Structures are given as structure tokens and as C-alpha cells.
Amino acid sequence: MKRRFPAEFVYQVFALIIAIIVVHAVYVTVVRPKAAAVAAEQILRIEQEENYTPERSVWVIIRDFEQESCFILMIWAFCIMGYKAFRALKERALLQQEFVRVQEGVRILP
């Protein structure tokens, strides 16, 4: 018997690798530079004004590795859910097929 490598496993591995690459690229090119700029601007304003209270920035909140890994896992989970939904739709089409062609009124049980 020929053993096949499971396609779902391959899909999940490649989905994870692609999610890691895309999210890390976005973090390196967009999130971390903007977070550094916002943090530098806030430090400068704190030094200039005594009563300045820095506002929370989304870039500063999501710049850490924990949030990056959460985004990676979220995209990976969405890919897996999309694959499962696609497979469920294909299986639903099987339910519409007639497996045993029996005309109405014909008895197949003893």
C-alpha cells in the first residue's frame, strides 16, 4: 500500500511559514520603526513639558514579540479555518450525490 503524505499537514506547515514571513516583514518595516518614532517623540515631549502625559499609541502597544506571535498565530488559525471550510463545502457536495441509484417504489431490503 502506498502511503501518501497528508496534504492538510503540508498546507498547515506552509501556512505557518508564510504567516511568520509576512507578519515579521510588516513588523520590521512598519510597526517597530513607527513605535520607535512615537516613543522618541513622547520622550522628547516629556523632557520639554513637566505635566505632559503621553497618550497610548497602537504602534507602541503592538511592537513587542508577544503581540507579533499572536498575530502570526491568528493568521495561521484563519488559514486553517479557511481550509476546513473549503473541505466542508466540498464534502457537502457529496451529500447531494445519489450513491445507490434506485428508482422510486423498488425495494432493496429483504
Domain boundaries, the chain: 7-95
Answer for the pair 39, 61: CB distance below 8 angstroms, yes or no: no
Indicate the pTM of the whole model.
0.79
pLDDT tens series, the chain, 110 aa:
577 779 999 999 999 999 999 999 999 999 999 999 999 999 999 999 888 888 899 999 999 999 999 999 999 999 999 999 999 999 988 888 887 788 888 887 77
Q: Please give the Cα distance from 2 to 7 (Å, whole number).
A: 15
Q: What pLDDT sits at residue 1?
A: 58
